[in-house]
Amino acid sequence: MQYRTLGRTGVQVSSLALGAMNFGRIGRTTQDEATALVDAALEAGINLIDTADRYSGGESEEMVGKAIAGRRDDIVLATKASMPMSDERNHQGASRRWLVTALDDSLRRLGVDHVDLFQIHRWDPRTGDEETLSALTDLQRAGKIRYFGSSTFPAYRIVQAQWAARERHLSRYVTEQPGYSVLQRGTETHVLPVTQEYGLGVLVWSPLASGWLTGAVREGRDITTNRSAFMPERFDTSLPHNRARLDAVERLAGVADEAGLTMIQLALGFVTAHPGVTSALIGPRTPEHVTAQLAAADTVLTADVLDAIDAIVPPGTDLAPHEKHDTPPALLDPSLRRR
């Protein structure tokens, strides 16, 4: 396992991190299965575990808490808040009112007195940066969080938050968690240059593109990824953008075969090769998944392999741009761009 410094914090984290989104109802994972996945990850040298209050309505945090009991001090523990947790309008967002409550709820579910990294799951356009950063700074000073970061923020919001922290003499975001994979490379255009400029640690999610890059989606074969059951439109190969992904996957499979790598090793090796990336979040659901994904822990792609990937999916290209989660709200809601 490789280790890298998380931004400018001095904290050393593994180049692969365990994402716990599949723990609980989402991945149909039991506590025993979740604990086995955590055991395997820690044994392989992973020292960062990432979850969120939103995952299975808090069930993921509860499972992580039970799985790490008695060994919490050796783990860099990260969670997230801001996504809706109920139908109540104020049980979401990045206001001081909600973040204080959300963090206390997360600490209770995790069974700990602090988390190492507390992340704003999505940018909240209704809440000013000063409000959010002030609340996070106070929670940090209270010892409930060590550091805080953002997740899936547009590049311009990352910049704005850095300036707001400096202007108001508040603590700043030290990490960003963007989506990034061989098939979704738009992050390279604006987000990664900004995180590098400000020295942020970067934990990338979905490096296996929801199963597209695991070998579970291939031409002429049944689709076996769990995600296809509750996101069928993302795997409907009759749609042009999915057809483009499938074509790219077939060509990438050839590159992997020639290099003597699995598709998973190629995909994870690609994202961790970027100098702006600290760790890639893996989200195994079964022991077979974790074994296959941990096999990429020390994968280093050669220049010719990286060049071959660029020839298939050019730098900065998103093959499914509509699936990005950092689109400015005004592009999605006409009422926000019209008088």
* Residue 318: partners with Cβ closer than 8 Å, 6 or more residues away: 183, 184, 185, 186, 324
Greatest Cα pair distance, the chain, in angstroms, is 57
> Which of 55, 147, 180, 198 is an active site residue?
55
Q: How would you class 250 by CB atoms within 10 Å of its CB: exposed for 0-12, middle for 13-18, buried for 19 or more?
A: middle
192-209 burial, b for 16+ CB within 10 Å, e for fewer? bebbeebebbbbbbbbbb
Q: Is the Cα dihedral 212, 218, 220, 223 positive or negative?
A: negative
Which tokens hold the place of 66?
A: 């039970």
Angle among Cα 298, 301, 304 to the nearest 5 degrees reads 165
User: What would the two tokens of residue 136 be?
Assistant: 């996070």
Residues 6+ apart with CB under 8 A from 146: 114, 115, 116, 117, 140
Q: Are strands 145-151 and 76-81 parallel, antiparallel or unpaired?
A: unpaired
Cross-strand bridge partners of residue 322: none
Task: Give the Cα separation of 245 and 248 in Å (integer).
Answer: 5
Closest CA to 263 of 272, 275, 274, 251: 251
Closest CA to 205 of 153, 262, 129: 153
CB atoms within 10 A of CB 74: 8
Using DSSP, state whether 322 is helix, strand or coil: helix
55 as an active site residue: the answer is: yes
Question: Which of 208, 335, 174, 231 is closest to 281 using CA atoms?
Answer: 208
Two tokens, residue 126: 């209704």
Residues whose CB is less than 8 angstroms from the CB of residue 260 and which lie 6 or more positions away in sequence, other chains included: none
Please list the active-site residues.
55
